[in-house]
């Protein structure tokens, strides 16, 4: 520390740096000439054009369009979520009413589908005498004859 | 900053912000600050020609972004920040251009110091200059500002954006490293 303190004491805050003669005077003059023009700084009124009506309202128009877009997106997503809901006997009142009605169930579910499916299948696949005899046993008279 | 360095002037800042007088006021800024900024840059990059280029860049940058100076900090703080950033960027570019490590660049700076024609100091000043060049960049900035410019820690803090406590630590570490360097190279 003593040597270092001697050094700092010896140097005494002087860096020994020099410059060419007249450097700073010449620098100030040449630097002033090198500064680029800045008309927007030195004469702003002459440079700035008058804003048109559209330029003034444009940012607000874009903002309104943005909010409309967001609203539409939210609306669309909520509609999609509603249609995706599976229709079951529990959440659809019309279906629930139909299922509670025995006549409807008999006519449109049990009798109709099962009878027509069976009849069609037999007609397509079984045409020989044995199949006909079997069909007589299984199917009601109204369908065979 | 030494007592000879001009302080910020409210009227100067006011004239800088007035379109009709801003150019003339900026020319006065150049006259007032070219020497202190030159020394700050030169103590980092060592070479006079490089310093001259960086000093010009500093003022051009300041002029080009004059509207960014809101006047809430001192004019000198703002100018010093630009000058130091320019210097550090220059050193980083040089390292990249010449593919140098930090140690290699330190050696290159020492060579520049030894060959410097714009130096009329004695042996002790030369040795100190080399010792400072061997410090990490930020540490050498702190040392230069504290020792050569005799700035207060608060002033250095506002320029570098570092706390006063960290600056004091940095300065004392710098002094210790200089001590070791001098001991090895005496």
CA dihedral of B152, B154, B160, B166, whole degrees rounded to 10: 100
Which residue in A has a C-alpha nearest to residue B52's C-alpha?
A27
How many angstroms away from the CA of B10 is the closest CA of chain A? Answer: 19
How far apart (Å, rounded) are the C-alpha atoms in residues A24 and A35? 16
Q: What is the mean pLDDT of each run of 10 residues along chain B (186 residues)?
A: 51 90 94 96 96 97 91 90 97 92 86 90 92 94 96 95 96 95 88
Report ipTM (2 d.p.). 0.83
Pair B76, B5: CB distance under 8 Å: yes
Classify the C-alpha dihedral B126-B128-B131-B133 as positive or negative: negative
Nearest C-alpha in B relative to A41? B19
User: Which residues in chain B are closer than 8 Å to A1, comparing Cβ atoms?
Assistant: 176, 179
Q: What is the pLDDT of residues A48-103, one digit of tens each?
A: 677 889 999 999 999 999 999 999 999 999 998 876 666 677 777 887 887 788 87
pLDDT of A97-120, one tens digit each?
A: 877 888 777 766 665 556 667 667
Closest chain B residue to the Cα of A38, Cα to Cα: B64
Domain assignments of chain B as residue spans, ordered by start: 10-185
Inform me whether the C-beta atom of residue B183 falls under 8 Å from chain A C-beta atoms: yes
Contacting residues of B for A24, CB less than 8 Å apart:
34-35, 38
Chain B CB contacts of A33 under 8 Å are none
Least confident of A1-10, A127-136, B61-70, B118-127: A127-136
What is the DSSP track for A52-98?
PHHHHHHHHHHHHHHHHHHHHHHHHHHHHHHHTSPP-TTT-HHHHHH
Do B148 and A13 make contact, defined as CB atoms within 8 angstroms?
yes
In contact, B121 and A14? CB cutoff 8 Å: yes
Residue B160 in contact with residue B84, Cβ under 8 Å? yes
Q: What is the distance in angstroms between the Cα of B163 and the nearest Cα belonging to chain A? A: 24
User: Could you tell me if A72 lies within 8 Å of chain B, comparing CB atoms?
Assistant: no
A130 in contact with chain B, both atoms CB, cutoff 8 A? no
Closest by Cβ to A1, choosing from B38, B150, B179:
B179
Establish if B114 touches chain A: CB-CB under 8 angstroms.
Answer: no
Tell me yes or no: is domain B10-185 CATH 3.40.50.2000: no
Supply the pLDDT for residue A136: 64
């Amino acid at each position: 520390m003593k040597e270092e303190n001697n050094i700092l004491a010896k140097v005494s805050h002087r860096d020994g740096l020099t410059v060419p003669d007249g450097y700073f005077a010449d620098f100030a003059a040449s630097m002033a000439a090198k500064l680029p023009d800045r008309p927007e700084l030195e004469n702003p009124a002459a440079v700035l054009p008058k804003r048109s009506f559209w330029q003034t309202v444009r940012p607000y128009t874009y903002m309104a369009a943005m909010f409309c877009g967001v609203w539409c997106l939210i609306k669309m997503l909520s509609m999609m979520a509603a249609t995706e809901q599976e229709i079951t006997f529990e959440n659809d009142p019309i279906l629930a009413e139909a299922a509670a009605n025995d006549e409807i169930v008999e006519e449109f579910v049990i009798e109709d589908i099962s009878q027509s499916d069976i009849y069609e299948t037999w007609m397509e696949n079984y045409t020989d005498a044995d199949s006909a005899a079997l069909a007589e046993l299984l199917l009601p008279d109204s369908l065979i004859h | 900053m030494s007592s000879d360095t001009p302080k910020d002037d409210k009227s100067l800042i006011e004239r800088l912000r007035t379109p009709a007088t801003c150019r003339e006021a900026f020319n006065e800024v150049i006259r007032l600050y070219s020497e202190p900024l030159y020394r700050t840059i030169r103590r980092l990059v060592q070479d006079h020609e490089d310093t001259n280029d960086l000093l010009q860049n500093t003022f051009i940058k300041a002029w080009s972004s004059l509207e960014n100076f809101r006047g809430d900090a001192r004019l000198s703080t703002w100018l010093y920040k630009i000058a130091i950033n320019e210097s550090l960027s220059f050193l980083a570019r040089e390292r990249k251009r010449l593919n140098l490590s930090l140690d290699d660049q330190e050696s290159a700076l020492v060579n520049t110091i030894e060959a410097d024609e714009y130096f009329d100091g004695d042996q002790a000043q030369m040795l100190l200059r080399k010792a400072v060049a061997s410090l990490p960049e930020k540490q050498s900035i702190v040392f230069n500002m504290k020792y050569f410019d005799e700035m207060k820690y608060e002033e250095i803090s506002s320029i570098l954006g570092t706390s006063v406590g960290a600056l004091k630590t940095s300065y004392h570490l710098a002094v210790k490293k200089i001590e070791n360097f001098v001991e090895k190279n005496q």
